[in-house]
């Protein structure tokens, strides 16, 4: 093996030892636990990292790798959705073919965003997560949240502030950007 091949091999090995486990876990969640698909996507992700090693900083590669893997999952999903239907499409009331109006791509994007958010929420401190769930997901007021959790109003406000900040940091670390 020449010097260049050894360097390439070491680059991929170091990335894999550093990020492989977390990347596989994340992809497994995105593909509903299909281990074979997850391994294929992780392998393709590291292949792309190898192809971009000249512009990739190993110390900051995590978000890049997670974004590439996410995009590969989305591309694979869209490729499957683009295949012709294997069974006849249902007819509408008029006897014509019913159109798919629920927007499969939009639904996929919403689903992936929910997975990303759920995964990011797991990275928060429990008290921050609890307040954010109460206020933003259950749509309780600050007063209702304070009463439900048995903490002062100011504590709820403070936990919301610091929880949102921590959530933004977790999402940025994973390469998810705000719109």
In a domain? residue 96 = no
Task: Report the candidate in 6, 10, 7 with the shortest Cα–Cα distance to residue 18.
Answer: 10
In a domain? residue 40 = yes
Length of the chain: 179
In a domain? residue 123 = yes
Tokens encoding 36:
């074979």
pLDDT of residue 179: 45
Residue after which a domain boundary falls, among 33, 49, 83: 83
- Phi and psi at residue 48, to the nearest 5°: -65, -35
**pLDDT tens, 9-58?**
788 888 888 998 999 999 988 888 888 999 999 999 999 988 888 888 88
Q: Are 179 and 169 in contact (CB under 8 A)?
A: no
**pLDDT tens, 120-161?**
888 889 999 999 888 888 888 999 999 989 999 999 999 999
* Other residues' Cβ atoms within 10 Å of the Cβ of residue 89: 11
Task: Report the candidate in 101, 104, 80 with the shortest Cα–Cα distance to residue 90.
Answer: 101
Identify the residue whose tokens are 């069974």. Answer: 87
**CATH number, domain at 114?**
1.10.10.10
Do 49 and 3 lie in one domain? The reply is: yes
pLDDT of residue 95: 52
Compute the average pLDDT of residues 91-98.
Answer: 51
**pLDDT tens, 44-94?**
999 998 888 888 888 888 899 999 999 888 888 877 666 555 545 555 555
Tokens encoding 54:
């000249």
Rounded distance between C-alpha atoms, residue 4 and residue 175, angstroms? 30
């Amino acid at each position: 093996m020449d010097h260049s091949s050894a360097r390439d091999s070491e680059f991929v090995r170091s990335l894999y030892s550093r990020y492989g486990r977390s990347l596989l876990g994340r992809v497994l969640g995105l593909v509903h636990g299909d281990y074979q698909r997850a391994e294929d996507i992780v392998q393709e992700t590291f292949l792309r990292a190898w192809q971009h090693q000249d512009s990739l900083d190993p110390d900051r590669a995590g978000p890049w790798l997670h974004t590439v893997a996410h995009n590969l999952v989305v591309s694979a999903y869209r490729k499957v959705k683009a295949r012709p239907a294997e069974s006849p499409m249902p007819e509408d009331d008029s006897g014509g073919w019913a159109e798919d109006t629920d927007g499969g791509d939009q639904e996929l994007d919403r689903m992936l965003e929910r997975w990303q958010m759920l995964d990011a929420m797991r990275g928060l401190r429990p008290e921050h997560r609890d307040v954010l769930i109460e206020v933003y997901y259950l749509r309780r007021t600050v007063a209702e949240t304070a009463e439900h959790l048995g903490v002062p109003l100011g504590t709820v406000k403070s936990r919301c502030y610091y929880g949102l900040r921590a959530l933004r940091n977790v999402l940025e670390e994973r390469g998810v950007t705000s719109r």
